[in-house]
Amino acid sequence: MELAEPFEMTQPAISRHLKVLEDAGLIARRVDGTRRPCRLQEEGMQPVEEWLVMLRKAMTRNFERLDKVLAALQAGRKRKGAK
């Protein structure tokens, strides 16, 4: 109810939005009498961060190797050019 107050939306519409957030793991709701207090689940955001960290690690390692491959290609070209 309190969450719906600032919005020009019906209570059922607000509930549907909250359900989407809950299913996505971004908020948690509990039962308190007739109230359904919500709280943010910060850990719901974490998998994106974790995934980005993994991607960054893999790409950093790959590109370091690519630097060496490119250096070898350039060295090969120079040798050919010298002949």
Partner 1 sequence: MSKMTLTTEGDRYVVVTRRFAASPELVYRAHTEPELIKQWMLGPDGWTMPVCISEARPGGRIRYEWTDGTGAGFYLTGEYIELAPFTRTVHVERMHLPDPTPDNRVETRFEPQGTGTLMTMRMTLPDAKTRAAMLATGMEHGMEAGYVRLETMLGAPSAQR
| Site residues for partner 1 per CB under 8 A | 24-25, 47-48, 50-52, 54-56, 58-63, 65-71, 73-74
Question: Contact 28/41 with Cβ under 8 angstroms?
Answer: yes
Nearer to partner 1, 1 or 48 (CB): 48
Residue with Cβ nearer partner 1 (7 or 63): 63
Residue 25's nearest CA partner among 5, 45, 55, 8 is 45
CB 55 within 8 A of CB 62: no
Looking at the Cβ atoms of 9 and 52, the one nearer to partner 1 is 52
